[in-house]
Each structure stands twice: as structure tokens, then as C-alpha cells.
Structure 1
Amino acid sequence: MPSSDHLPRRLVALVTSIFICLASGTPYLYGVFAPQLVSRVGLTISDSATISLASNLGSGVGGLPGGLMIDHFGPQISILVGSICIFVGYFGVFKIYEHQWGNLFVICISMMLMGFGSITSYFATLKAAQANFPKHRGAAGAFPVSSYGLSATLFSVIAATFYRDNTGGLLEFLALFCGAIAFVGSFFIHIYLEHEDEDDNALEAQKSLTEEETALISMPEAPSSSAGPEEIPQPVTAARMERSDSLPGSFRFWGLGTRTPGSSISSTAEDMQPFLQNIRDQNKTEQPQNNNNPFFKSPPKSKSPFTIIKDRLTDRIFLTHYFIVSIISGMGQTYIYTVGFIVTAQYYYNKDQVQENSDLKINLRGIAGVHAKIATSAAALQALQVSIISLASFSGRLFSGFMSDFLHKKFHIQRLWIVVVTVIILSVGQFITITNVNSAHLISVSSAIIGGSYGLVFGTYPAVVADSFGTRTFSTNWGLICTGPLITLFFLNKYFGVIYDSQTDPTTGICYRGNECYKGAFEFSFGLCFIVFFTTLVIIYVQRKK
């Protein structure tokens, strides 16, 4: 645990991050006020989809510049900027709604600002949690991650309780409340670094032997050839370095087992010389003026954002992580954004045949009334699915953070094994969606499974990224990774739409064929689960050497 000097302030920052993330997790709330917004300003359903895309661009693509800003200026300033963007975004939409101004471009800009402010504030709290608790990254990161996932449920309840028939009031509330919470909370979010924490971060990163983290260590000059093993000076920050390639038994093949304690590491010249020489060469390049001081240690030279991005995009391990998160998260988001259509297709299953075979002569007004009642019931089922997904995502994020720390520290099992289990669970949810014809109960089961899987991967992977690439550039790395799901989401959503439109009745605009309306899209996703499953096993095998 961190030292007692900073522990209270670290805990305050962690608790504050919960409230900031609750205020920042509102992009998924768009479906609550979207119908009223587009109706009041005179836009179409297609325009609504464009607005939703703008919000996703702000929170998805905007995560990369947000991450760069966090790593350069720190979390406090970044959350301040995020709070202003959240306020301006929501307040702009509120004014547009109030004055019935149907300018699609301005609405999209407002939603992009809101999305950017939300994701920047969220990433900033996540980095602070990871950096402030380097020995408990999974557990610390679970709090902001799970709070972000719970936000949609919380504000859905507030909207239904206090703003049921007052969409304008809801938008104004979101602007003032969310903006204020993030603004005030920013003053309590700091990163408290100590020598012990810096050393731990450097050791974790040395496993991947990246140039950036290796530069954290300053080494003395090489001893003379006559020096014995006991005379070799030890690295300042490598004194507790562990060797994971000495795991006993066959379990070490997959990254399982007990690591050799630091005290048992050999310090002979033959074992240590390659490592020492690597560090020494870098110190000669970056710190030539301090070569004569064997105990000098200075902060590493900061790399430019473009250099960091280039390094990551040419790193095969990073690209593999990028692929895994892109596919799993993209599949989860596809279900989240299409669950309303899934509910509609199953709710209207074969209802066109019932109307055609009815002997009753129903006038047009009667038909409209029947459809209105059905639509109301379908909307209630849609709202239920959103709540189930949100709660399941929250639970998955919270559980996976603590579980990954427990497995990693107690049994020295790689955190990626949680991702393997997540992919298996996700495939079960995909299979249920494919085979379920028109059961409302099975829809809820699918929502719980897929929502939980979505939460599990986002609760586990921040710690995986921090362990692999350090916390100094964590926000940049995580922001870059979070651009991947947008690509998967775009193509899966398009494929879903093509299949759904091909099965839709051109007269009513409704698909009456149950799971046949979308089954092909989830069959494709089901196949992707196998690819991700084997990819994750491969990276576990590769990383067990480190």
C-alpha cells in the first residue's frame, strides 16, 4: 500500500473520482431524451442517428487527444476542461430544445463537446487511480470504471422520477449538475508519486523492455574485468526485479505459478551484464553530463505525443491489445445500440399475420390505437433492457477490477485470463441472441450477459495496459486503444442495418420476423468471439516469458 503520508489524500481522490465518473457517464443517456429532442426541433430518425454518432465520435475519437492532454497537463486541468465541455455541450442542446432550433450541425457539435468532456474527465480519474495505487491498479481502477458504467442507470431513474414530461428541464439539469460535479471534483484529483511507486512502475514496464520505461533507471559505470560478482553495483531501481521465466511446473507455459522472489535473483556478472549494458548505453546518450556520478538518477526525457503514438502503433503487443479491445467492446456496443431494434422485432413477431387473419374490420384509427399501445409496451421493454445492460456493466467493471488484482497477486495469474473467460461469456450471450425467436425473458438474459461482458473487459484492461506500458503515458495509451471499438461498431452496425432493413415491411416500417430480422449480424459476431479467444491465448503465451 502507499505510505501513510499520502494515503488519505489518495483515498479522497479515489472517492471523488466516483462522483466525477457518475457525472461523466451520461453519453449513453442520449436515448432517454432523443425522441423528444428530434420531434421538437423537427428532425428525422436518421438525423437522430447522426446525433448519436456525433456523441460517440466525441467520446471515442476524442479520447485520444483527451489522453494526450491528461498525460501532458495532468488530471486536474484536464477535468476542468472536461467539465466546461460537458456544461457547454448540454447547455447548448438545452437552448436548442428550448428555442426549437433544428440546426443539425450545431446539435452535433454540442453533443461532440459533451462526449469529449465526459471521456476526458473519465480518463483523467482513471489515470489518477492507476498511478496513486500502483500495487492495486485493478481494484483502484474498478471504482471510476464501474461508476462510469452505472451513470446511465442513475440518470435514467432521475429522468423518470423528476423530469418525465420535462425534457428541457432534464437537459438543463444535466448541464448544471454534471458540469458542476466535474468542476468541483477536479480540485481533489491529484497524482501523488513517491520513490517506491516510481520504482514499481519502472519494474512493471521493464517486463516489456520498452525504451521509454528503461530510461527511468540510471546506472553506474561498468566494473573492471577483474571485479568479482559481489563487487558489481546493483541498479538503483532494479533491486527487486523478478524473473518470471523460472516458474515451476507446466503451468508457467500459460503464465500461471509463483514467481521467484527478488532475493533469489542471481547477481553474477554473466547474468546481469546484458541488462546493465543496455541501461548504461541509454544513459550515455540521454545523460552524458552525469556519467561520472554512479548514483545520479533523474526523470526521463518526455517524448512528444506523436512519438508515443508512433511507438505504440509499431508495437505488436500493443496492437494485439488494440485488436482484442476493439472486437470485444465493439460487439458489446453494437448490442447496446441495437437492443431497441431487437426488442421491437421480437415484440412485433407475427403480429402482421394476426391482423391479416382477423375477421374483425378495424378502421384506421383503431389500428393506430393498437400500434400506439404496442409501441408503448415495446418502449417499456426497451427501457428495461437499457437498465439491465447498465447494471450488468457496472457489476462486471467492479468485479473484474478486484478479481484481476486478487488473481494477479495471490496466484500470479495474468489478468488476461479474465479476458479469456469474458470472451466465453460473451459468446454465450451472442448465441442466445441468435437462437431467441421472441422471448422477452431471454432478451433480458442476453442483455445481462453481454452487458456484464462489456463491463468485464473495461474493468480488466486498464490495469493490463498500465502493467504493460506504465502509468506515465497511460491516458495516451488508453485513449488510443479506445478508438478501436468505433471501427468495429461502425461496421457491425452497418451490417446489422443492412440485414434489418432487408427484412422490414416497406408499408409499416416494422420487421415482424423475430430473430430473423438481425440473426446474421450476431452470427458474424459469434464467429469473431473465436478469433479473439485464440488471439488472447496467444498473447498470454507470449507475455508469460516476461
Structure 2
Amino acid sequence: MSEKLHRKTRIVSVFAATAISLACGTNYAYSAWAPQFAEKLQLSATQSNIIGTAANLGMYASGIPIGMITDTKGPRLSALIGMVALAVGYFPIHTAFERGPGSMNIALISLCSFMTGIGSCAAFSGALKTATLNWPLHRGTATAFPLAAFGLSALFYTLIADVAFPDDTSGYLLLLSLGTSLLVLVSIPFLHVVDHQSHTKYTAVPATEGRTRRDWNVLHRTKSNGSKYSSTSISPAEPANIDSRDIDTDESSSLMSAPGDLSPENEAISQEDHHSPWLDVTGLALVKHIEFWQLFILMGLLTGVGLMTINNIGHDVQALWSHYDDTVDKNFVEHRQLMHVSIISFMSFFGRLSSGVGSDVIVKKLHMSRFWCAAASSTIFLVAQICAIRIENPNHLWAVSGLSGLAYGVLFGVFPTLVADAFGPRGFATNWGFMTMAPVVSGNIYNLCYGAIFDAHSERQPSGERACSEGLACYRSAYWITLVSSFFGILACLWGIRHEHVLKRRKEAELEAHHA
């Protein structure tokens, strides 16, 4: 493959991955239709949160099996699975809304919601894996585009629905069922992982950048098998014994084993500014390393905070407006809900894009840790929770939705790269699946706490639906929980920065001892 065609293929694949990701973040638009759905089917806030949590559960709990499929069978199969699951999940929900109360029980609706989560996870896994494999030397920037599109997804579909189906929740749900699956379907043919074997110019890590890492890998290979620095699930390649022409580079190939991507002598240093000695760890071997638990706990603390606001901003809007001005009609409140979903989506998009690109700048130009991006996310989350606890005027609620979306975007803009840097790209999709188990726990806890607190302040109306008119008191207690979680998130980030610094100093000391 010529250099020009090689680069064009990689660029087209990033566009395809970005388009697929645009169909995968619609679970974050749940607040745009959840209050109307709950009202028509006469559901409580807790039941509504169970449905929303089921989507999050499908998204995050399916990460491990979907990741294994992506790593072993290639991104296209996982994207195809995602396309089918999105259609199977959203269309029955649309049907239930059309038929009204009693047409479908909570368990079945939650199962359909769970399927939308699986579909989002599968399609996004294929998109993210493609971007990660095709741009190994610019991983943060390349993954920033599909990550940003994922964050923009809710805004994208909300704007289309607002034009095509104004004040029509049924039309919005129909758009989600058809629009998401069709967008993935038309993008799959362009989702291609290039063979770096035929492209020799996209090869070199400059000698000045790679010297320290090359020295570390030389030292790494001289360690005894009993040393903790060689306890990886997949041993690092020995460049001297590898003929790059003999290595398969199909869709399942990893960055580390793409021989045309790096010359043999530099193959072991393909990970940019990789401070962790655990090269290519995947599967259950992850649980043996403190780096995994550090990232897992951090993700759990912060994603739970974000998911609670993302899933319940619609209820926040309803509660504040019913208390602030009880003369406003339902259409007005619905438009405000859509506005806040759009704010969250746009700010998430901005946060993901700036964090993904910014993390590369932080590492390459400032020679600092990517964990500073996660620390920024934690701090923004903390400010957002303070705003949520204090804001009683619904006209100022944009501060909560905007800051929450920004913090969530910054977190997910850098986190996949943190995982790839920590454990290598070979089993990235599987490792990312393990990491996404964290929100299954925290998301469930925080969402169900919000639902229970909101229901405790709600009253059943004569028409059958439940409503709370106490304003901020309807949900304030829930945000005290997430405030504490945000604070501990900041502490976890600072610990991660310190731990990374200690590892780096330890490597330098051992290198000096090796050369002495």
C-alpha cells in the first residue's frame, strides 16, 4: 500500500469510527424522554431510574465480553452486534410508549433498555479499537474524535428530533431506534484497521524521545523471570529474533505487534511516554496490579457522579420549575429538559475533544502525567455538585448540566489512553471492558439513591403520575453523596500522579545501576 493510500485509509477509518460513535451515546439522552415516558406509563422516579440504570448496566457490564470479541474477531463484528442491539432495544421502548400504561412491564422495558446499552458498548468498542490501532503514535488525539462524537450523540439526536418531531416523544424514540442502527450500518464498511507492514514511513519514535524507554526495555528484558518487572501476561517481544514480515497483521493485530508500524529495534518502545512496566497485561492478570485498582476505583468514583446527573437532569428541571413557577406548561418544561440534555452533550463533546488532544500535549510538550486531566475532571465535578446543592432558580441550572457534561467529557477523553498506557494496546478492548465494570457499581448506587430520595418527597397525583413540587429539596440530599465522591476522586488522581512519579524515578535509578 502506498504511503498516500495508507494515510487516506487511516483517516477514513477515523471518520467511520467517529460516525459510529455518534450513534453510541444516546443513553445520555435518557433525561430528554424519561420524564414524559414515566408520566405516560405512570412510573415512579425509582422505576424510571431502574430503566435508565439498565441502559448504563448494559453499556458497562457488557464491556468485558464485547472487548474480547473486539480483540479477537475485529472491530467490524462488534460494530455489527451493536447495530442489531440498538434496533432491538429502542424499537420496543417506542412501541411501549405508543401503547401506554400496562402495555409492557418494568422488567421487559428494562431489558430493552439494557439492550440499548449493549448496542452502544459494542459499536463504540469497535470504533475506539480502530482509532487506537491505526494511530499508535498519536493515540490520545486519534481517540479524541470518536470519544467526542460519543459525547455529542445526545445533542445530535435531540436537535434532529426537535426539528423533525417537535414536542413528540414517540417520534424521538422512533428516531433513536432507526437512526442509531442505520448510522452504524452504513459506517461499518469503512471501519478498516490498516496493515502497517506495507507502510514504512510511519515508523520511528525519534531517538531523543525513545532513549529512556529503550533503555528501560533493555533493562526489562534482562530481569529474571521472578522479578516483579517481568510479571506480565504476555512477554515483551524480543526484537532481535523477530522478522517483521512473518507477523500477521489482520484486524485483530495489536499496536505492539504491528511490525511495519515500528522498526524491529524500536518495536518495544511504541507506547508513547509509557511509565508503567506492565506491558501487554490483559484479562484477569489485571487484578494483580495496583495500577488496575487505582484506575478502577477512580473511574467508579467519578462516573457514578456524572451518571446521576445525566440520568436525572430531567427530574431536576421538573422539580425546580414546578416549585419556582407552577404556571408553566408541560411543553415549556420539556423544552427546558431538552436544552439541558443538549448542554450536557455539547460540553461532554468539548471536554472529550480537549482532554484527548490536551493529554497528548501534556505528555509530549509539558512532560507531565495524563492524570492531571483526570484531576481536572474531579475538580470540575466537585464544583458542579456544589452548584447542584445550592441552585434553586431553574434559570441557573445550566451551571449544573454544563459543568457535569464538561467533567464527564474530560474524564472519558483521557481515560482510555490512561488504560492503554498502563497495560499496553494488545488487549485494550478487553481491558477497557474490565474498567467499565466500575460504573456498574457506582452508577447503580447513585441513581437508585437519587430515585429513592426523589420518591420520598413526591406525591401521587389524581391522574396516577408521581410529582414533587418541593424544588431543590426533592433531590438535594443525593448531591451531598456525589460531592463526597468527587472529593475522593481528587485524592485518587493525586495518588495516581504520585505513583506514576515514583515508578519513573525507580526506573531511572535502576537504569543508572544497570549502566554503572
Q: Which residue of 1 aligns with 2:182?
A: 180
Determine if contact 1:342/1:518 at 8 Å carries over to the other structure.
Answer: yes
Q: Which residue of 2 aligns with 1:478?
A: 432
Q: Distance in 1 between matches of 2:132 and 2:213?
A: 28
2:360 corresponds to 1:405:
yes
Q: Which residue of 2 aligns with 1:153?
A: 155
Determine if contact 1:84/1:183 at 8 Å carries over to the other structure.
Answer: no
Q: Which residue of 2 aligns with 1:315?
A: 289
RMSD value, Cα: 3.8
> Structure 1 residue 162: deviation in Å?
1.1
Which structure 2 residues correspond to residues 119-138 of structure 1 after superposition, within 5 A?
119-138=121-140
Q: Which residue of 2 aligns with 1:25?
A: 25
Q: Which residue of 2 aligns with 1:387?
A: 342
Q: Which residue of 2 aligns with 1:524?
A: 481
**Secondary structure at the residue paired with 2:425?**
coil
Q: Which residue of 2 aligns with 1:109?
A: 111
Cα deviation, 1:313-343, whole Å, max 9, x if unaligned, reads 2321111101111111110111112222322
Q: Distance in 1 between matches of 2:371 and 2:219?
A: 32
Cα deviation, 1:275-315, whole Å, max 9, x if unaligned, reads 325489989x999xx99x96246769999xxx943111232
Determine if contact 2:75/2:130 at 8 Å carries over to the other structure.
Answer: yes
> Structure 1 residue 27: deviation in Å?
2.1
| Cα pair distance change 1:5/1:336, threshold 3 Å | same
Q: Pick one of 140, 163, 166 that aligns with 2:165.
A: 163
| Cα pair distance change 1:74/1:510, threshold 3 Å | same
2:497 corresponds to 1:515:
no
Determine if contact 2:324/2:394 at 8 Å carries over to the other structure.
Answer: no
Q: Distance in 1 between matches of 2:168 and 2:324?
A: 35
Determine if contact 2:31/2:314 at 8 Å carries over to the other structure.
Answer: no
Ranges in structure 2 where 5+ consecutive residues have no aligned partner: 255-280, 505-516
Q: Distance in 1 between matches of 2:139 and 2:290?
A: 24
Q: Pick one of 222, 229, 237 that aligns with 1:276.
A: 222
Determine if contact 1:38/1:48 at 8 Å carries over to the other structure.
Answer: yes
> Structure 1 residue 95: deviation in Å?
4.8
Q: Which residue of 1 aligns with 2:490?
A: 533
| Cα pair distance change 1:506/1:190, threshold 3 Å | closer
Q: Which residue of 1 aligns with 2:409?
A: 455
| Cα pair distance change 1:441/1:482, threshold 3 Å | same
| Cα pair distance change 1:177/1:428, threshold 3 Å | closer
> Structure 1 residue 144: deviation in Å?
0.6
| Cα pair distance change 1:136/1:262, threshold 3 Å | closer
Determine if contact 1:134/1:197 at 8 Å carries over to the other structure.
Answer: no
| Cα pair distance change 1:278/1:184, threshold 3 Å | farther
| Cα pair distance change 1:395/1:179, threshold 3 Å | same
Q: Which amino acid aligns with 2:370?
A: R
2:417 corresponds to 1:469:
no
Q: Distance in 2 between matches of 1:182 and 1:143?
A: 16
| Cα pair distance change 1:30/1:348, threshold 3 Å | closer
Which structure 2 residues correspond to residues 59-458 of structure 1 after superposition, within 5 A?
59-96=59-96, 102-104=103-105, 105-164=107-166, 167-194=169-196, 261-263=209-211, 275-278=221-224, 295-296=241-242, 308-349=282-323, 373-436=328-391, 438-458=392-412
| Cα pair distance change 1:541/1:193, threshold 3 Å | farther
Q: Distance in 1 between matches of 2:103 and 2:138?
A: 49
Judge which range, 55-64 or 494-503, deviates more.
494-503
Q: Which residue of 2 aligns with 1:44?
A: 43
Cα deviation, 1:449-495, whole Å, max 9, x if unaligned, reads 11100110001111111111112211111122112112112222233
| Cα pair distance change 1:263/1:302, threshold 3 Å | closer
Ranges in structure 1 where 5+ consecutive residues have no aligned partner: 202-238, 243-259, 352-369
| Cα pair distance change 1:109/1:434, threshold 3 Å | closer
Determine if contact 2:32/2:314 at 8 Å carries over to the other structure.
Answer: no
Q: Distance in 1 between matches of 2:367 and 2:199?
A: 20
Q: Pick one of 428, 434, 449 that aligns with 1:495.
A: 449
| Cα pair distance change 1:171/1:345, threshold 3 Å | closer
TM-score (norm 1): 0.74
Q: Which amino acid aligns with 2:72?
A: H
Q: Which amino acid aligns with 2:472?
A: N
> Structure 1 residue 521: deviation in Å?
2.3
Q: Which amino acid aligns with 1:405?
A: D
Q: Distance in 1 between matches of 2:219 and 2:494?
A: 33
| Cα pair distance change 1:196/1:263, threshold 3 Å | farther
| Cα pair distance change 1:140/1:314, threshold 3 Å | same
| Cα pair distance change 1:350/1:385, threshold 3 Å | closer
Q: Which amino acid aligns with 1:295?
A: N
| Cα pair distance change 1:183/1:512, threshold 3 Å | closer
Determine if contact 2:147/2:353 at 8 Å carries over to the other structure.
Answer: yes
Judge which range, 77-86 or 513-522, deviates more.
513-522
| Cα pair distance change 1:470/1:343, threshold 3 Å | same
Q: Which residue of 1 aligns with 2:266?
A: none
> Structure 1 residue 71: deviation in Å?
1.0
Cα deviation, 1:348-396, whole Å, max 9, x if unaligned, reads 3377xxxxxxxxxxxxxxxxxx66x454433332222111111111111
> Structure 1 residue 25: deviation in Å?
2.1
Q: Distance in 1 between matches of 2:212 and 2:85?
A: 53
Q: Which amino acid aligns with 2:56?
A: N
Q: Distance in 2 between matches of 1:497 and 1:35?
A: 12
| Cα pair distance change 1:518/1:11, threshold 3 Å | same
Q: Distance in 1 between matches of 2:353 and 2:253?
A: 33
Q: Which amino acid aligns with 2:22?
A: L
Determine if contact 2:66/2:122 at 8 Å carries over to the other structure.
Answer: yes
Q: Distance in 1 between matches of 2:346 and 2:74?
A: 31
Q: Distance in 2 between matches of 1:399 and 1:264?
A: 28
TM-score (norm 2): 0.78
| Cα pair distance change 1:274/1:380, threshold 3 Å | closer
| Cα pair distance change 1:274/1:484, threshold 3 Å | closer
Q: Which amino acid aligns with 2:430?
A: T
**Secondary structure at the residue paired with 1:23?**
coil
Q: Which amino acid aligns with 2:406?
A: G
| Cα pair distance change 1:265/1:493, threshold 3 Å | closer
Q: Distance in 2 between matches of 1:120 and 1:265?
A: 34
| Cα pair distance change 1:37/1:535, threshold 3 Å | closer
